[in-house]
Chain A
């Protein structure tokens, strides 16, 4: 099933949107655990689910890399379903075993899955009960990463929304800036320095790097989303009275400039200071893009829906590297969160939301793009048909945000093309 509708940007230019409902080829939200468990260093993610869920997480990164990961699955068995065992008692026993093995853990996320939701195992209640037992040593939170409700990066959204919901309201009257979305540590540090140069001193990041360093949030918190998929987190922040700063996303020199500018405007930073602060890194970013423009200029690109980073990436690739956008697929189009991005994109691309993978494959093969961005299940089959691909999961595992990563982001797209040029087999 597919419907073609069209959305308009604020100047009335039209953007065609294909809405599809068919087979999706996107991971579920559990997948976000693969990076979240590295980001929050003393947090543990316990999926309550099936063997499928356990298998997904260990396979999703394409490799089984961590010798001692901070995630695991409490696998439901027949006896849990048949009511022979009380699922809550069983869960408590699993958590006991886990926490006694890992005394270093300070925060535990119970992560819901399709099976736990279908059997209506209430993990919110379980988290409260376990928190009562383990606080102050361990805080127990919950969210859903299930495939019937979430795709891929929405798992991070759920996790951060749970963190926000459990946050003490900040009472400070001084305005503070909150950057929301898991970023590479090095990117956070760069942004911290830039905000400082702009005179914005009170900057916090969500998630914090440890259980003990999660930011306080209140009506004087102005937040800037660093990732486009944080719909529920934004809602949770709004509920605490925090104020969203509307901005495009910090990918590329332009995206990063506009993202920083949006915050600077709230803080009343004057133009001269703003320019002074970003001049050097921005010109570095622009310089770093030049060498990839030669490879990417005028090349066509087709995005399969995956991480929800597709729209900001498409904007970056088209405006800063001269690429030609064919279809830009995304699992969800949160129009309010990406309004600024859509302004930039008008008249350049067809957007698609949702998926019917076979129909989309037909369109892709028909369009014969120079490069196709897709998930791990599709990449080799498309390569075998003569297309050049970039796996989208790599975009979540690599630092691509900020001025000093703009070149790296471009390189990720240029590499498959350069590689094809080199190979003579």
Chain B
């Protein structure tokens, strides 16, 4: 049993819903009690979809238990088939139905509907949302793909690929697909299918008609891509094109897989110049804590260090399945990877690291708000505000522009930072004022970053510390305390403060 305040991922059947909802002409018959219909609102409210997810819930009740739940399932399945006439039916169980063991797959088989039915095993008490999405996508492809398809070697000039991974309720999947499809087309690659997003069962059948696969979200598509590699000999891309450097490498990878000639270099991002221009000097070494799904977190760490000049002080992910990748990345930045889906642990780690910027999910927004630290979103789960009306991909060159703008926005800019530092006692220029380009800044960050410590502060040192601007005060405090601890001082005096400053710089 695990105490959980917020969960980063839903149960695995929500992952299955993300795949079913993304696709066309599919219906998902889910054995589940009525409360589980809440999942519809994730799609209709948070993602603002204009159609109900294609899910028929059995909504069995206590009085059905021990008797009739299997019949309730059969009835729901038949009715869903008659009413929606889908080309593919998925059947599965949510947590409660898993416990009553009605075996939806077996029941469906016995009914023998005239459309393909793919049964899903979704172990609710051990697996989670991404796993469920990945498994569902894999089962659909394995069951539907026409294995007789054989691709000839790429015709010179125009190879074909599939784009794999985008689903409903993904973080910017809609725009990432447009961006990457555009890029591939520029490079001279034809698109076979995109899946699961907007793919129909008929499209999935044709998945073998591609020379290679582009995997945008390994959490969802890697298992399928591996199977496709084995079955059809389609290699797949390993680089996630988030950030300018990664996008360039991705282009290189695509050229190799597609046997393409080097074309004129693409240089479509503003990020390099924006980052090199002098105003951005202020971002140098800003302490950033990164948490999200593994893929987005690792990519964010690279952009943060190589392309914006931040310093990574924390890196982690909530999906254990990809923990190894995050551990490897964390080593590069000299931090210990935080692999957990326990919100309280993440909160703890962030408070300790005292970052100046948090890049995370909706959950880290809560933490950022409490600690008074600026925050930007890099990964799901996200709020309705993170499904913007405008085009805002994370991937490709335009994605890099979006990332630069989004991450920089919550920070203090340029000379403003200096002025705040110099005139600390100005009554309008206080901690609560916040960046001038963001109005309605109501938090009072000063009160929350003060953590209990083992070392004591002399009153005058404490007062002096308060004159340090709040956005670097956490770091100053931490450095000073570490300095004192290393020298076995039990009180921090004014001089200790300044000696520590001289020792660490800035």
Contact = CB atoms under 8 A, between A and B. Distances in A.
Q: Which of B3, B35, B37, B384 has the most chain A CB atoms inside 10 A of its CB?
A: B35
B120 to A, nearest CB: 15
Contacts of A80: 1, 125
A410 to B, nearest CB: 24
A35 to B, nearest CB: 16
A87 B46 CA distance: 35
Contact of A56 (B36, B367, B370): B36
A385 B206 CA distance: 33
B314 interface: no
Interface string A310-347: 00000000000000000000000000000000000000
A314 to B, nearest CB: 22
Contacts of A85: 1
Interface of B: 1-7, 9-11, 13-14, 33-42, 44-46, 48-52, 56-62, 65, 76, 79, 83, 94-96, 99-100, 123-126, 128, 344, 362-363, 366-367, 369-370, 383-384
A24 B34 contact: yes
A381 B55 CA distance: 14
B3 A98 contact: yes
Contact of B62 (A25, A101, A148): A148
Interface string A81-120: 1000101001101100110010000000000001101110
A69 B76 contact: no
Given A74-B1, A85-B1, A67 B34 contact: no
Nearest to B7: A54
Contact of A147 (B34, B52, B100, B126): B34
Given A52-B94, A59-B41, A62-B41, A74 B3 contact: yes
B6 A58 contact: yes
A146 interface: yes
The listed residue with most A CB atoms (<10 A of its CB), out of B34, B39, B384, is: B34
A24 B37 CA distance: 8
A377 B1 contact: no
Given A62-B41, A75-B7, A98-B3, 8 more contacts: A25-B37, A28-B34, A28-B38, A29-B35, A60-B41, A77-B126, A358-B79, A379-B44
Interface string A1-44: 00000000000000000000011111111110000000000000
A-side interface size class: 35 or more
A10 B44 CA distance: 42
A381 B51 contact: yes
Contact of A115 (B60, B79, B96, B370): B96
B33 A114 contact: yes
Interface string A39-55: 00000000010111111
Contacts of B76: 23
7 contacts: A26-B35, A27-B34, A52-B13, A52-B14, A63-B383, A114-B35, A117-B62
A93 B467 CA distance: 44
Nearest to A62: B45
A149 interface: yes
A380 interface: yes
B44 A377 contact: yes
Contacts of A94: 1-3
Nearest to A375: B41
A23 B36 contact: no
A378 B95 contact: no
B492 to A, nearest CB: 29
A189 interface: no
Contacts of B79: 22, 358
Contacts of A73: 3-4, 7
A148 B60 contact: yes
B393 to A, nearest CB: 24
